[in-house]
Structure 1
């Protein structure tokens, strides 16, 4: 098993992995266009040359990154592939000197075992502005916000950085 950075030729397989768990609400839907545009955010797990899992790290700035779109094919679960993917994404965050990594999940036990702690979603405005406002479950979200590292404060964000600007950027992009 190996975890590597995704490349564009992996986009169709990543799309399949994500779509397999959007109908049940486990993962937020991502379009193929979004996957291709964000391909540098993704890593894939391979066994014998077959992509069996994926995950992504979205960078907001040095103050925050988000782990998202983690998925492992059902028949490959229980082999610690999720742990390997998360660890690869945490290493990527460390490479970029990110001080806090967040995620929203329905499996807090898994991420808790990797050192993540529960957080109030209001402490993660970047994520809320970027995804939650356009999520179909916005008003009835059952995901737990979690973080690892130092939770961002408005005082430790880069000068001129405003999480609310993300809403404008997302609106323009869509």
Structure 2
């Protein structure tokens, strides 16, 4: 008997419903930020999905800030699909996409740093990622008590190499 292989591919609009169904339970628990179907439609080009026998069993997205930085986000695999390698495959596909765009640093925020450390990510200080903080963290309900760990792979952006103007960072303790 042959074992089915998990594959990764770029997401398309028909994938919005399965992606939403995978993300929603994690959003309800506060593990992931909620995403509406409209947001998923608008950002579907950022997503990759993992498939097993034609069924979507995971998703992830790559948000581009510029040549200096991209963020891996919304990595989700439902409990019944864990252990099949979908999470690793999604991260590898998103890293390949970042290379295609010549991005020098990829960041992510996680509660499972060991998983990403095995893939070459190292812990970083949040303050070293002002683009991420300004764009997303300031809108997060957990801003003042965030338990996620910032991680990066690649060369951290220097303050002046990627912005025409300074981006204000909220005056809160942002952790490590």
Secondary structure in 2 matching 1:21:
helix
State the alpha-carbon separation in 2 of the partners of residues 16 and 61 from structure 1: 30
Note the residue ranges of structure 2 that are not aligned, 5 or more in a row. Answer: 1-5, 169-176
Verify: 1:105 aligned to 2:73, yes or no.
no
Q: Deviations over 1:23-75 (max 9, x none)?
A: 22211111111111000000000001100100000000000000000011211
Higher percent of residues as helix = 1
What is residue 10 of structure 2 aligned with on the other side?
5
Deviations 1:129-172 (A, max 9, x none): 111101011100000000000001123215x26545xxxxxxxx
Count of aligned positions: 163
Q: Distance in 2 between matches of 1:80 and 1:15?
A: 20
RMSD between aligned alpha carbons? 1.2
SS of equivalent to 2:150: strand
Unpaired segments ≥5 residues, structure 1: 165-174
Give the 3 Å change call, closer, same or farther, for CA 31–45 of structure 1 in structure 2: same
Which of 38, 47, 52 is the equivalent residue of 2:52?
47
- The TM-score normalised by the length of structure 2 is 0.89
Name segments (4+ residues, structure 1) moved above 6 Å: none
Aligned 1:92-171 pairs, distance under 5 A: 92-157=97-162, 160=164, 162-163=166-167
TM-score of the superposed pair, with normalisation by structure 1: 0.90
Report the structure number with the largest CA radius of gyration. 2
